[in-house]
Structure 1
């Protein structure tokens, strides 16, 4: 019952953040565009390529593959946490992208830097959602992960604007959603996923 109450509160908070994000992306378009150009036009010399590479570390493919790797190595608890985070963040994020259909910056603006494009819509940033959710989920196992994890997730979120595929509000609200969904993940009965993964491996 205690966990059910937590889950209900977290879902409510997620919906509040969603409501606020929709208000901001529709009411502060000029500010979002200004911030986009401010970040997208930045340059850090030799670090530019590193930032571009880090952008892909928030990919669902990478973390799904890592979950599979831990499963093969019989690290079922870690695999269940990673898989849980991928599913809990991936499903609502995909639904929002399909429902809201916010155009990518490069579809309506002339980006200073465009490294990659995507067929899916801009809001929210799936990379930001997953990166921040993973920090919360993995920090449950080891608190030392939290600080470097949030730094890593922030760089991933920043990089999505830097390479021209997201507006700042996409990643800011994506990060907030990710934190809430990460907390939601660790309050779910992940031991059921763990037992299922272990049973499949036998």
Structure 2
């Protein structure tokens, strides 16, 4: 390994450590002010803003994000190899968040009196727990791959992901710490998917599997 590679690796590790430290600090700070933040966000509710935020929060669902981004990558033939990493990052985010919801049983803000819309109320099921936010995890999981393949869309998607996260607090569906934890998990799962593709290549894995099972095409 050359000096340049070592230097690059150290830079990436330093950047990663800085991001983790920043996310951790934000998460700990938000835990202290969770109720105040939800109260402030819910006081912004009005019929016009409700409609906009409702569109945003539905747009941040797993199915919508998968459909939109899959269509984007299919449109560009030379970028289709990133479809598998994209799906893996989004589905892995879903699985990790679902598992954590079973561990951290946290009631959603609207359970303790904060206002929400009846159409959004979720009272039972695996995803009823508040911590962490699945919508935030899925939205931020796509960011590293889009940054890698569609850098011009990075800022747009970052704004969208932040709006999705805020919409969950706005409707009293999550605390800010839920959103930050989901964003943290999703982003680093997406980052891991990018590094795996760059380092090993899922297409190479498929080639090996084809040889093992005798698939010619």
Q: 1:44 to 1:72 in 2, by over 3 A?
A: same
TM-score by length of 1: 0.75
- Offset at 1:46? 2.4
Name the counterpart of 2:159. Answer: 151
Q: 2:113 aligns with which of 98, 107, 110?
A: 110
Q: Deviations over 1:63-82 (max 9, x none)?
A: 33446657987773242232
Describe the superposition over 1:77-103 as per-residue Cα deviations: whole angstroms up to 9, x where unpaired.
Answer: 242232022123122111111111111
If the length of structure 2 is used for normalisation, what is the TM-score?
A: 0.70
Q: Which runs of 5+ in 2 are unaligned?
A: none
Equivalent residues of 2:23, 2:180 under 8 A apart: no
Larger radius of gyration: 2
For these two proteins, the number of residue pairs brought into alignment is 194
Answering whether residue 93 of structure 2 is matched by residue 83 of structure 1, we say: no
**Equivalent residue for 1:185?**
193
Separation in 1, partners of 2:204, 2:90: 14
Change (3 A) 1:153 1:70: closer
- Contact 1:128/1:178, CA 8 A, preserved across alignment: yes
Shift of 1:18: 7.3
Match of 1:133 in 2: 141
Deviates more, 1:187-196 or 1:119-128: 187-196
CA RMSD of aligned residues (A): 3.7
| Residues in 1 aligned to 2:161 and 2:82: alpha-carbon distance in whole angstroms | 19
Cα pair distance change 1:70/1:17, threshold 3 Å: closer
Aligned CA distance change for structure 1 residues 106 and 56 (closer, same or farther; 3 Å): same
- Correspondence for 1:50 among 44, 49, 52: 52
Structure-2 change in CA distance of 1:162 and 1:150 (3 Å): same
Q: Which runs of 5+ in 1 are unaligned?
A: none
**SS at 2:196 equivalent:** coil
Q: CA deviation at 1:47?
A: 3.4
Change (3 A) 1:193 1:116: farther
Contact 2:100-2:131 within 8 A present in 1 as well = yes
